Amino acid sequence: MNVLGIDIGGSGIKGAPVDTTAGKLLDERLRVPTPDPSAPEAVAGVVGEIAAHFSWSGPVGVTFPGVVVDGVTRTAANVDRHWIGTDARALFAEATGGPVTVLNDADAAGLAEAAFGAGRGHRGLVLMLTFGTGIGSALIMDGLLVPNTEFGHLEIDGHEAERRASDRAREKHDLDWEKWAGRVQEYLEHVQMLLSPSLIIIGGGVSKKADKFLHHIELPGTTVVPAALRNEAGIIGAALAAAQAAGAPAG
């Protein structure tokens, strides 16, 4: 099944048609800067622009950087706070003219990695963590998603984890890769203690720089690997979620 996947980020909104059976983009992705302020109507306008660019009339999957329950956005940590309580599914459906599925951005990346990337064929508990502006998380058990986990907001030593260990924190505090890896190590030890995952997948922009920090991380009992799909994971996962919502076999 072919579905348009759209990934809403803090700095850019990216979209492309996806073959959800193969987990591949069918066209070059289009990226549009995220409006500032990132109010619902402005973002919906970009989502509609991306759909129009591809002349899309079928199902659409859209990611959102926050908690999403039944198509309604419940939190907005890194986007305009007017999103809280917004019926995003209805808003995007009006903008695109087709059926829309909305889910958390890290959840979408986790679905994609589990189906087509670093977690493909892996049984047991898989934790996807995306390190960027914050820390997003996706928890997957035997291929099934437990949505909206938000493990980036765990408190460690009196500090919210993503304020110390996100990629933005690395840049803000001018940390070299080894020092930042020490913070990530502390965070991963904490989530390992809570969840005992057999596999942790490191995503976000840092995944393409894994050679700079991953060798500094040791987590006995848990395999830690970089994401395979990188910047395409959100788009592919959004499309996959929409295909699953439509009842199509995928993966």
Can you give the residue ranges of every domain in the chain?
2-107+232-245, 120-228
Architecture of domain 2-107+232-245: 2-Layer Sandwich (3.30)
Share of the chain above pLDDT 70, in %: 99
Query: Would the pLDDT of 70 be above 60?
Result: yes
Query: What value does the mean pLDDT take over residues 216-239?
Result: 96
End-to-end CA distance of the chain: 10
Query: What is the percent of the chain with per-residue pLDDT over 90, rounded to a whole number?
Result: 91
pLDDT at 247: 85
pLDDT at 3 over 90: yes
Asked if the model's pLDDT at residue 249 lies above 70, the reply is no
- pLDDT class of 231 with cuts at 50, 70, 90: confident
Triad 175, 177, 178: Cα angle to 5°:
100
Q: 249 versus 39: which is more confidently predicted? A: 39
Same fold, 2-107+232-245 and 120-228: yes
Mean pLDDT rounded to a whole number for the chain: 95
Across the range 36-46, mean pLDDT stands at 97
CATH topology of domain 120-228: Nucleotidyltransferase; domain 5 (3.30.420)
Q: 209 vs 45, 80, 118, 225, 228, CA distance in Å? A: 33, 29, 16, 12, 12
For the residues 30-34, what does the mean pLDDT come to? Answer: 97
User: What confidence tier does 167 reach under pLDDT thresholds 50, 70, 90?
Assistant: very high
Per-residue pLDDT band for 250 (boundaries 50, 70, 90) equals: very low
137 pairs with which residues across the strands?
A: 129
Question: Is it the case that residue 47 has pLDDT exceeding 90?
Answer: yes
pLDDT at residue 186 greater than cutoff 50: yes
Higher pLDDT, 11 or 82: 82
Residue 143 has pLDDT above 50, yes or no: yes
